[in-house]
Amino acid sequence: MTDHLQIAGIGIEPGRRASIQIPVARRYTANEVHLPAHVINGLEPGPNLFVSGALHGDEINGTEIVRRLVRLPVLKRLRGALIAIPIVNVYGFVAQSRYLPDRRDLNRSFPGSPAGSLAARLAHIFMTEVVAHSTHGIDLHTGAIHRSNLPQIRACLDDPETERLARAFGAPVLIDAPLRDGSLRAAVQEQAVPLLVYEAGEALRFDEVAIRAGVNGVLSVMRALEMLPPAKTARRSGDPFVAHGSHWVRAPVSGILNARVRLGARVDEGDLLGEVSDPLGDAVVEVRSPYTGVVIGRTNLPLVNEGDALLHVAVFQRVEPVLRELEAFHEDVRPDDPDFHETNVT
């Protein structure tokens, strides 16, 4: 990549950093909408990594990960460039909504078009002003509203470079996820840019473990890319496990859910996952697992309709090593660890 970066008409020379407001559109109230970006261009050449949050406007953990990331002193030693976008879907972020004002899902609107819908135009701006200047990317997500995700990386693991970086991130679980038409992952792959999707936590809620793990994961990827020097203190050296598939267990009837398992729990085929009952408890229907695996996602809303997704179970060749890795992961990112944050790294 070139030493000189120019984004939205603003040049960032090597050794400089800048906060940039990328123009998106005008509201019908006549005020401008901008895509906020913080760009750090290192003194030495290297990869250009974009890190994006709130592609879905209510998935705010990624915004906090980016905020903490760009404040780290270690970035003074950056090689290459970091393009940090704390909020991609600025419309949804303001409205506390997953979607854009026209109810389109931005993550089904890539690569976009300069003459299309509002979602298509925003996607096109992101591709031309961010992805076009990048060699690698990390997109930060959470579960949907009322759903929590166990920290996990989703990526196309058939690409060796993507798999290498996915393992370097340090999330306890890897999902070899198929591409979806219109997604950022699909559009970025067309540009031959390796992309990781980090999923952790719940929409509209800060999850400290998810945020801390996200900051450390991005730093670990940057070290794997040799954008940053090696860490002075070695962290957990475990290797994440690739799921051989994942399945949602759905509500058999409508009613009130009493869940019996937590995120990260092992479940065996036939295990009781919870019960769905009517408000008086007269009719109770058990929910049992059709699979053996680990719970990587769950609903947090007890009120369910027939067919609603309740629990997301990932299937592994061997479950026991995954559970040990999860235990080590949570020990490494526990909120009471005073040495967790890398804000003192120089």
Written as six digits, the tokens of 84 are 């940090």
CATH of domain 5-224: 3.40.630.10
Residue 343: predicted pLDDT: 43
Phi, psi of 131 (to 5 degrees): -65, -40
First to last CA, the chain: 25
How far is C-alpha 280 from the geometric centre of its chain's CA atoms? 39
Contacting residues for 158 by C-beta, under 8 A, at least 6 apart? 176
As a whole number of angstroms, the distance between CA 200 and CA 152 comes to 6
Q: Which fold has domain 245-315?
A: OB fold (Dihydrolipoamide Acetyltransferase, E2P) (2.40.50)
Task: Give the list of residues 6+ apart from residue 100 with CB closer than 8 angstroms, or none.
Answer: 57, 89, 91, 92, 106, 118, 119, 122
For the entire predicted model, the pTM comes to: 0.94
Q: Which residue has the tokens 């952790």?
A: 200
Tell me the backbone φ, ψ of residue 64, rounded to 5 degrees. -70, -35
Structure tokens at 45: 């050449």
Predicted confidence at residue 3, as pLDDT, reads 76
DSSP at 179 = P
Structure confidence at residue 1 (pLDDT): 54
- Ranges of beta strands (E only) in the chain are 5-7, 10-12, 16-26, 32-41, 44-53, 79-85, 136-141, 147-155, 173-176, 195-202, 241-243, 245-250, 255-259, 266-267, 272-277, 284-288, 293-299, 303-304, 309-315
φ, ψ at 15 (rounded to 5°)? 85, 5
Alpha helices in 195-273 (DSSP H): 208-224
Same fold, 5-224 and 245-315: no
Nearest to 73 by CA among 233, 229, 235, 236: 229
Q: How far is CA 262 from CA 144, 156, 311, in A?
A: 17, 27, 9
Phi, psi of 173 (to 5 degrees): -135, 135
- Per-residue pLDDT of the chain (346 residues), as tens digits, is 557 899 999 999 999 999 999 999 988 888 999 999 999 999 999 999 999 999 999 999 999 999 999 999 999 999 999 999 999 999 999 999 999 998 999 999 999 999 999 999 999 999 999 999 999 999 999 999 999 999 999 999 999 999 999 999 999 999 999 999 999 999 999 999 999 999 999 999 999 999 999 999 999 999 999 999 998 776 655 678 899 889 999 999 999 999 999 999 999 999 999 999 999 999 999 999 999 999 999 999 999 999 999 999 999 988 998 998 898 888 888 765 444 444 444 4
Q: Spell out the domain ranges in the chain.
A: 5-224, 245-315
Give yes or no for a cis peptide into 14 (omega within 30° of 0): no
CA distance 269 to 290: 5
What whole-number distance in Å separates Cα of residue 117 and Cα of residue 104? 9
The CA distance from 78 to 81, in Å, is 7
Burial tier of 100 (Cβ tally within 10 Å: 0-12, 13-18, 19+)? buried
